[in-house]
Amino acid sequence: MAFELPELGYAYDALEPNIDARTMEIHHSKHHNGYTNKLNAAIEGTDLEGKSIEDILTNLDMTNAGVRNNGGGFYNHSLFWTVMKPEDRGYLSGELKDAIEAEFGSKEAFIDAFSKAAATQFGSGWAWLCVHKGGKVEVCSTPNQDNPLMPGVACGGTPILGLDVWEHAYYLNYQNRRPDYIDAFFKVINWNEVERRYAEAK
């Protein structure tokens, strides 16, 4: 079965003023939709057809640019929309809070590490919070549409929080002020979803 563009679960303007409606509309309906269609075209008629996106990416031939770029783009954005929410976001707590404090010392130190990974990713890419089996967490960044599920990519583990730092994710509202966009992202994180992903992945 072909992959389908997932619904956002909220209106394009729901994250304003932190992320503007026009950016969300273009990002979801054009960029993510484009990755979805190109992924389907790349796997059509191959042995990848019918497999889950996680299975495709964890066993990826990294020289297969069509699947690497578009499969990554499909997966990354599918995660991205769910880790943001306009309301009822919860807050960092429970086992995830304990794991973050064990690794980084404090929530504030984690925010600094994640923000640095996002701000210093050269060109286009993503910042990630990943979890390894057993519950240890790690922050890293990846270029383009690569992600920690892919073979040989920095971090490894399962991504549970991701921030898109391609310019199309923020340029209409923030222009070249990527740090302002990163700060805004922390105001809309759906911690309930991040904690759910942590519990599932560890």
For residue 51, give the nearest of 65, 67, 69 by alpha carbon: 67
Residue linked to tokens 């504030």: 108
Contacts of 179 (CB under 8 A, 6+ apart): 115, 119
Question: Exposed/middle/buried for 4, CB within 10 Å: 0-12, 13-18, 19+?
Answer: exposed
Q: Is the dihedral of CA 110, 116, 118, 121 positive or negative?
A: negative
For residue 160, give the nearest of 187, 127, 184 by alpha carbon: 127
- C-beta of residue 60 within 8 angstroms of C-beta of residue 67: yes
Q: Which residues contribute to the annotated binding site for Mn(2+)? A: 27, 77, 164, 168
157-190 burial, b if ≥16 CB within 10 A, otherwise e? bbbbbbbbbbeebbebbbeeebeebbebbeebbb
Q: Which residues contribute to the annotated binding site? A: 27, 77, 164, 168
Contacts of 121 (CB under 8 A, 6+ apart): 127, 141, 142, 143, 165
- C-beta of residue 183 within 8 angstroms of C-beta of residue 112: no
